[in-house]
Amino acid sequence: MGGRREEILEVALAIADERGLDGVSMRAVAERVGVTPMALYRHVGGKAELLDAMVGHLLAALLPPDRDRQETQRWDERLAALARAVRTMVRRHPWAAPLLFSRPAVTPDAVRTVDVIYDALIEAGVPDREVPRLERLLSTFVIGFAASEVSGRFTSGDPDPRGHRGSLPEGDFPAHARLKPWLRLPDDLATEFEADLDDVLRLIEAAAGRR
Partner DNA sequence: ACCTGAACACCGTTCAAGT
Residue 134 CB, nearest approach to DNA (Å): 36
Q: Which stretch binds DNA (CB under 7 A): 19-27, 85-93, 118-126, 136-144?
A: 19-27
Scan residues 171-210 and list those touching its own copies (CB under 8 A): 172-176, 178-179, 181-183, 185, 192, 195-196, 199-200, 202-203, 206-207
Q: How far apart are CA 79 and CA 87, in angstroms?
A: 12
Backbone angles phi, psi at 62, to 5 degrees: -75, -40
Q: Which stretch binds DNA (CB under 7 A): 27-35, 115-123, 171-179, 189-197?
A: 27-35
Q: Is 92 exposed, middle or buried (0-12, 13-18, 19+ CB in 10 A)?
A: exposed
| 208-211 contacts at long range (C-beta below 8 A, 24 or more positions apart) | 208/124, 208/125, 208/126, 208/127, 209/125, 211/125, 211/126, 211/127, 211/130
Q: Are 142 and 90 in contact (CB under 8 A)?
A: no
- The interface partner of residue 46, options being its own copies, DNA, none and the CB cut-off 5 to 8 Å by kind, is DNA
Residue 97 CB, nearest approach to its own copies (Å): 7
Q: Which of 27, 111, 209, 211 binds its own copies (CB under 8 A)?
A: 111
Q: How far apart are CA 148 and CA 144, in angstroms?
A: 6
Give the binding site for its own copies (CB under 8 A): 97-98, 100-106, 108, 111-112, 114-116, 118-119, 122, 128-129, 131-133, 135-137, 140-141, 143-145, 147-148, 151-157, 159, 161, 163, 168, 172-176, 178-179, 181-183, 185, 192, 195-196, 199-200, 202-203, 206-207
